[in-house]
Chain A
Amino acid sequence: MHVGIVPVERLILFAGCLNVLLGEPLTMHRFLNLSILLAGLFVAVGSYATDAPQPITTADDLGPQIEQPIEFPHNRHAGLHNPADDADPSKPATGGMEINCMYCHTYARRSMVAGIPPLRKCIGCHQSIESVKESPRIKKLFEYWEAKKPIPWKKVHDLPDFVRFNHERHVQRFVFQQGKPVQEACGYCHGDVKTLVVGRRQKPLTMGWCAECHQKDHLVDATSTKTTHGPNDCFTCHK
C-alpha cells in the first residue's frame, strides 16, 4: 500500500522525533515540536485511509463563491426527494427532484467537456412548470430565451490551459463500467453538488490530487475483483 506522505512533512516529522528523543525540557520550543509531530502524524494517517476515492461530502478545498447570472439551485434539481412533500402537493416542495446529473450535463459521457446545458433544455421543462413561472429566477431565464441569448455563466471548475481533463473517460469508467451511482462518480471531483445552490469548487483539482486517485486500485468493472490504476503517463493529461 502506498503511503502518501510527502518529503516536507516527512522532514518535519523527523525533526519532531529528534527533539523528543533529545529530552529537552518542555518549553514553548517543545510545544512547537510536539505540534509539528502531531501535524505530521495527522497527515501520514490521513493518507493511509483507504483505496476508495475520497468522500464526496467533504469540501476539501473550497473555491471562491462565484456570482452567477442566475442563481441556479442545484439542490432543487438534484437534491433528495423529501417524502413529506407527497402529502400535500399544493404546498411548495421542500426536497429536491433527484434529477440525474447527466440529464442536464448531457455531454459528460460523450465528450471531453461536461457542457453547460443548452438553454433549450431548461425551457423544455420550465415552459410547463406553472408553479414557479413567476419566480424571479425563472423570469430571468425566459428573458434570455426570448432574446435567444445564451446565459453568460461564469466558470467554476477551470483548469490551467496545459491540462486536458476528459469527462467522458471518467464517466464511462465509474458510472458505466463500475456501476457507481452517478452522483457519487461526479462527486469525486465536484463534491456533494445536490446540497449546493450555485456550483462551487469543493476539491483541489490539482495535479497531486488527481495523481493521488490515479495511484489507487480501482475495480476494473462492477463484477470483477481485478483492480487497476488510473493512467500515469504525462501525456494522458498534458498534450
Chain B
Amino acid sequence: MVRTIASRATSKRHAVHDEQDFKEGFVMIENGFNRRDFLKVLGWGGTAVALSGCGNTSIENGKETVVSYVEPTDYQIPSIGVYYNSTCAQCDAGCNIEGRVREGRVLKLEGNPASSINRGKMCGLGQAGVQAHYNPDRVTEPLLRAGTTTENITWEKALATINDKLNGLKGEEIAFLTGGVSGHVKVLLKNYLDVLGSKNHYAYEAVSPAVVRASNKKAYGVEMPRLHLDKAKVIVSFGADFLGAWVSPVHFSQQYAQFRKGNRPEGRGVLVQIESKMTLTGANADRWIPIRPGTEGILAMGIINALGVGVPADVAAAARDYTTDRVSKDTGVSAEQILGLTELLKARSPSLVLAGSAAEGYSHGSQNAAAIALLNQVLGNVGKTMDAPANVQFAQLTPTTGNSLALNDLNDVMAMGKLKVLFSYGVNPVYTAPDCLKLKDNLNKVPFKVALAHYLDETAMEADLVLPLDSALEDWGSSVPEYMPEPQLSIQQPLMENLYPNTRGVGDILLALLKQRHADQYKAYEDFYSYLRGAFVQNKAALGGAGADDDAFWNETLGKAMVKLPGTAGSLSGKPTVAGLSLPATKASEGAYPLRLIPSVSPSQRDGRHANLSWLQESPDPLTTVVWDSWVEIHPKTAAKLGIVEGDIVEVTSLSGSIKSQAYLFPGIHPDAVSMPLGYGHEAMGRYAKGTGANVFKILDPLFDKETGELAINETNVRISKTGKRVVIVKEEGPNGGSQLGRPKIAVKVSSDKVDLSKEV
C-alpha cells in the first residue's frame, strides 16, 4: 500500500508517533546503539506509520450529523442553488433582486434581470444584505427595560404590555416614527394609527433629497420627475451623486453607461459635476468644478445670464445682476469656465441639469435648487430629458418619503412632554440627530418607547421595549419605490426560514397590534402573509391577473416578486418662474470657524444604518480608499496653512461640539471646506459599528433651510486644530495617492500610444 508524504505530513497522529520514535531512539543510544541503528529504527517507525493508515484529524466521522429531507421538493437538490426573487431593503431605491438559496440557506444576492429599476444589476450596499441577515449582533428576543435592568420577555407579554400602555391614552399622545414607508406595511400602519385616533406619523430620513423634492414640486409639479440621463448630450449636476448615493444609483448608473456610449445617435455625452467635495459621480465627470460651498444657485443664475438668447424676458431680468464677473467672484469658478460651460450647453441640446444633496444642504438650499431647476427649464430640457412619472392607481401604497423636518417636529412635541408612547421603526434618530437638538433628553420625556429593531442601535438602547424584527431576507413585504421607470409593486418574500425563532416581521407586529383593537376586522388574516396574499388576490384584475385562478395568479406574482401597477401618464408643468427667488451673497468666512463642514454621504455607509456590516466597513471608500474609520478631508493648500499632514489626528470643532479624526489630504475638495463621511462613530449597534470612527451628525449646527425647514446639513462652520497625535491611515492606495505600492504612478500625462509601460510601472 502506497502512502504519500502529503498524507503523512498532514496528520497530527503521525507527528506524535515520530516524537515517540525519537524518544525511543535516544534510549537506545544510551544502551549502546549507534547512529545507524537509530536511523533504522526510525525507518521502521516510519514504515509502520505509513502502513497503519489513518484519517485526517480535521475529519469528523461519526461526530457530524447529516440531516436529510423528510419530504423533499422536486427542485431541491442538496448542493445545487435555487434562485428566488425578492426586493432589496438596503436603501429606498427598492431594486428587485434574486437570492441564491442552497440547502435552505441564502448565500448570495443578485439583481433581477426583469426589473426596470436595476435590470439585473446590484450595488455593494445591496450585496451586503446577506450580512444584515446573518449578522451576529441581531436582536433575537423581545426585551423589556425597567430602570437599569433588561429582561427577555415573550411576545405575548410584549404585546400585552403595549396594549396596557396604550389604554386610556388620547390619539395625540401616541406617535410613530419611521423611515420612508410604502406598500402594505404603510397601509397597516395607517390603519393602526387611525384605530388609535392618532395623526402622528413622523417619516424621518436623516439624509434625503427633501429640499429637491419640494423644489421639483414647485418647478415641475412633481416631487421626483423621471430622468433620462441616456438621452442627454450634456449633464450638469450640481452635487447630485447619482452614481453613488443619490435616489436610485443602480438605475442611474445604467442610464449613465448608455450616456457615455459614443455610438448612440446623440454621440458620447459630457458630464460636468459642480460641487465643493468630490463625489463618486464627480470623479467620473469629464469636468469637475469645485465651487465655493453654497453658491451653486448663483452659478446657475450666472449661466442663465450668460446664455443670452432664448431666455424668457422675466427670467433674463432676474438673472441680469448675475454677471460673469460677479458670479466668478462669488463662486470661485473662473469666468473662462462659466463661459465655457455656457457655450457647451448652448451647443449641445438637450441637456440635463440636476440639483443634488450638495446644493440643497444650506439655509438657502431651496433657493439653490430653484435656481438650478430654472436653468434646466430655460434650457428647454423638460419633456426631453426629464418627464413626469405615471400617476399610480392604489395611492395608499405609494411611498411616504421621509425628511428631517419630521424629526424636528417630533422633537418639539416630545420636549413639551406631550407624548406618552412612541414607536420607532427603521430609523435611528438618537444616532442621526445633531447634539444641539437634545433629542436623547427629549426622548426620555416619553414614558414608554417601543423600538422595532434589527440591532440594539442607539435608539433601541433608549427604548423601554425592543421588538426584534425579521431580517429583510426573512420577512414578507411589498413596496413601491419612490423612483421607478415604470409603475410597479415589488414583493419582498422570505428567502429562508427565520434564523431565530423569536423574531417577527414588521407586518406581523402591526397586524397583531391591530387585532388587539379590532379582532373581528382582521380575523380573516392569520398572519401578514395571508393579509398580503389577500390584498393581491382581491385586486388581481387591476394587477394583470384578470380571470386567473387565485393560486395561479399569486404563485406567478410571487415567482416574479413584482407586478406592473396600472397608472395614467403624468405631465410636467414646465413654465419657468422666478417668483420669490433670492440668493444670498456669500458670507465672509467667520474668524473663529473659518471652514465649511461638508458631511459626505458615501455609497456604502449612507446615514450609518448599515455600519454594522463588516463588508461595507472593509470596502474602501471610492475616493479616499480609507477603510474601517472616518477621516477629515482637507485640501492640501489648507492643510499646508494649518501645518497638517496626512494621518494627523485633528479636532473638528463647531459651535455645537467637536469630534476627532484622522486628516486626509485630498485635492478633490474646495480649499474653504473640509469633509467627513457620515455613518461612522456609533456608540452601539453591534461589534463592527461601535466605536469605529466619529459621528459627524453630532456637531452639526441647528441651521435649517428657510423654506422647507430641513436641516441644512452643509451649513455648519468649523475650525480644525491639531491634537499632536498622528496615525498611519489604513487605506488601499499608496501615500498621498501619489504612488502605487511605492512605485511611481502610472503616467497620465502621456497619451496611451506613447507610453512605455515597462518604464512607467
Contact = CB atoms under 8 A, between A and B. Distances in A.
A162 to B, nearest CB: 8
B64 A150 contact: no
A191 B44 CA distance: 29
Interface stretch (B46-54, B469-477, B520-528): B46-54
A155 B62 contact: yes
Interface string A105-120: 0010011110111111
Interface stretch (A57-65, A76-84, A86-94, A180-188): A57-65
Interface stretch (A8-16, A130-138, A221-229): A8-16
Given A120-B71, A158-B64, A9 B47 contact: yes
B408 to A, nearest CB: 53
Interface string B45-67: 01100110111101111111111
B72 A61 contact: no
B37 interface: yes
A66 interface: yes
Nearest to B79: A112
B65 A63 contact: no
Nearest to B72: A118
A154 B3 contact: no
A63 B6 contact: no
Contacts of A156: 61-62
B29 to A, nearest CB: 14
A151 B60 CA distance: 18
A67 B8 CA distance: 28
B47 A154 contact: no
- Among B2, B5, B59, max chain A CB count under 10 A is at B2
A165 B162 CA distance: 54
Contact of A211 (B4, B10, B47): B4
A19 to B, nearest CB: 8
Interface stretch (A95-103, A171-179, A201-209): A201-209
A174 B3 CA distance: 24
B78 A107 contact: yes
B5 A8 contact: yes
A110 B77 CA distance: 8
Nearest to A205: B55
B80 A111 contact: yes
B53 A207 contact: no
Query: Which residue among B37, B51, B66 has the maximum number of chain A CB atoms within 10 Å of its CB?
Result: B66
B7 A208 contact: yes
Given A113-B78, A155-B60, A118 B65 contact: no
Contacts of A197: none
B78 A115 contact: yes
A160 interface: yes
**Most B Cβ at <10 Å: residue of A8, A153, A207, A212:** A8
A7 interface: yes
Contacts of B50: 8-9, 43
B40 A36 contact: yes
Interface in B8-42: 8, 10, 36-37, 39-41
A4 B79 CA distance: 34
A98 to B, nearest CB: 23
A47 B68 contact: no
Nearest to B57: A160
B40 A4 contact: no
Given A46-B2, A148-B70, A160 B56 contact: yes
Nearest to B46: A8
Contacts of B309: none
B71 A208 contact: no
Contacts of A75: none
A4 B2 contact: yes
A59 to B, nearest CB: 10
A237 interface: no
A178 to B, nearest CB: 23
A150 B69 contact: yes
Contacts of B53: 60-61, 204
A192 to B, nearest CB: 17
Contacts of B569: none
A36 B55 CA distance: 25
Interface string A17-44: 0000000000001001101100110010
A161 B60 CA distance: 10
A115 B56 CA distance: 22
A46 B50 CA distance: 14
A6 B80 contact: no
B1 interface: yes
B44 A47 contact: no
Given A36-B40, A46-B2, A12 B72 contact: no
Contact of B39 (A15, A111, A160, A201): A15
A65 B414 CA distance: 69
Given A111-B78, A158-B59, A119 B69 contact: yes
A158 B61 contact: yes
A150 B644 CA distance: 65
A80 to B, nearest CB: 27
A5 interface: yes
A5 B2 contact: yes
Contacts of B67: 116, 150, 152-153
11 contacts: A4-B2, A29-B37, A33-B40, A111-B77, A112-B78, A115-B78, A116-B68, A152-B67, A153-B68, A157-B61, A205-B55
Interface of B: 1-8, 10, 36-37, 39-41, 43-44, 46-47, 50-51, 53-56, 58-72, 77-80
Q: Which 8 A-B pairs have the closest CB atoms?
A: A208-B4, A116-B68, A66-B62, A112-B79, A206-B7, A118-B69, A208-B7, A61-B53
Interface of A: 4-9, 11-12, 15, 29, 32-33, 35-36, 39-40, 43, 46-47, 60-61, 63-64, 66-67, 107, 110-113, 115-120, 145, 148-161, 201, 204-209, 211-212
Given A6-B4, A8-B5, A158-B60, 13 more contacts: A32-B40, A32-B44, A36-B40, A61-B55, A64-B62, A111-B77, A113-B78, A120-B69, A145-B70, A206-B7, A206-B55, A208-B5, A212-B2
